[in-house]
Structure 1
């Protein structure tokens, strides 16, 4: 259901250039010329810098509308949906993969602060430093013969993130309490999960441990999180496909259409049909 995003290449890219460290891609510049949508599982923390164009990123009940100059932090182990907009305008962005080990070193102790911040896609406050950083990366990508120092770039990235206390605390907590086995299985089995015990078994832990981890990181129960992810996918499919509403509901894990309509309206304050037909922007930023 969700594609693994680990090599920084995706369907629909007109052009992509990557930098590698020990055989693994850690940075990319991507250019799109057509509208395209993706359902992605992000196993590592990623910083997404929008260079030009617009896109929507779906994360549970939140929809982020990103434009040129925006910086989006994606915590490791995230299931998200992405919709690149404006087919008449090119879209390009830079992605940087930030390894857990570096986050643990650079943001050590941060997880104990701002414990009310939940793990989620987070748009970083715009400032001149992020704009300058993005431009410096673009300059490096423009020089085909030059790849910048891996550790210098990522250390500087975390230095800038570290200035935003709540965001750095969220990121540090996300890598301290990972759930990789659970998320890896949910990326394909999300619609089928019905019981908390099933979800706990995916991570080889007790239901009590699973509930405690979700409270620490997501500030909700595992089954509430599952519901929001199903609604996320439903909302995404309503906007990016012409599939019938009932078919979308069943494919995302809902067994009762009335229940789906009720939950969708509770989450997004619109019916599925209103959401699909809405011409104005969705809930931006």
Structure 2
């Protein structure tokens, strides 16, 4: 259902340019000239600088509407949906993978240890972020130009250090190794899960351990999280496809159509039909 985002290339991109350090991509400039939609599992923290156009990020029961100049932070372990909107101009952004070793060093020194996986955040688009974006754009446009990896990471982390405690909590640590192993399997089959025992087996955990680690990582129960991710995907498909509503409900893991309608309205405050027609936007919080 969701695909692994461990490289910057995604379906529908018109152009992409990446920078690498020791064979690993660490930053990319990409653009789209047509709408695109993705469901993604993001194991490593990502910083997204929006250059042009508009995008909607579905994060649980919220939809963040991003525009040019916005700075968006995605913590490690996040599962979300991304919708590139039909633009009057193309959509372009710069993305960074934030290395977990540097984050651990920075935020351990800052005395921050609580990790909030999945708590995506829109940061204040300060003049410093704008200056960084413009400098990066110049380098991406110039053949052979690439800032020193260590210097750029220091600059990015310095700007993040000036953000709120919520940002620091989102970046501190990462999901435990058993949770990472479980998520590496779960993200592809969220729509197929029927029993929590199946999820626990993916991470070689007991049921009690699974519930405790899920609460620590995602601040909710495992099944609550699974239903949220199913609804999140259904909200994306309602807006980006012409599939019949029953087909969307069944494909995202709902076995009973009336249950799907009730859950959608209870969570989003609107019916699937209202959401598909664009009569109301899911509010960004």
TM-score range, shorter chain: over 0.9
Task: State the TM-score, normalizing by the size of structure 2.
Answer: 0.93
* Partner-residue secondary structure (3-state), 1:138: helix
Matches within 5 A, 1:42-81: 42-81=42-81
The yes-or-no answer on 1:147 pairing with 2:133 is no
Number of matched pairs: 284
CA contact (8 A) 2:192 2:253 kept: yes
1:233 & 1:111 partners in 2: Cα distance? 36
2:32 & 2:155 partners in 1: Cα distance? 27
Q: Could you tell me which residue of structure 2 aligns to residue 277 of structure 1?
A: 277
* Partner-residue secondary structure (3-state), 1:188: coil
Q: Could you tell me which residue of structure 1 aligns to residue 131 of structure 2?
A: 132
Q: Could you tell me which residue of structure 2 aligns to residue 159 of structure 1?
A: 158
2:111 & 2:218 partners in 1: Cα distance? 13
Deviation at residue 282 of structure 1 after TM alignment: 3.9
Q: Could you tell me which residue of structure 2 aligns to residue 227 of structure 1?
A: 227
1:277 & 1:253 partners in 2: Cα distance? 23
2:46 & 2:183 partners in 1: Cα distance? 16
Gaps of 5+ in 1: none
CA contact (8 A) 1:111 1:169 kept: no
CA contact (8 A) 2:115 2:173 kept: no
Q: Could you tell me which residue of structure 2 aligns to residue 93 of structure 1?
A: 93
1:213 & 1:171 partners in 2: Cα distance? 17
* Partner-residue secondary structure (3-state), 1:69: coil
CA contact (8 A) 2:107 2:168 kept: yes
- C-alpha RMSD over aligned residues: 1.9
Matches within 5 A, 1:1-285: 1-108=1-108, 112=112, 119-164=118-163, 165-175=165-175, 179-279=179-279, 281-284=281-284
2:40 & 2:191 partners in 1: Cα distance? 15
Over 3 Å counting, the alpha-carbon distance change for 1:274 and 1:13 in structure 2 is same
2:31 & 2:258 partners in 1: Cα distance? 41
Deviation at residue 162 of structure 1 after TM alignment: 1.7
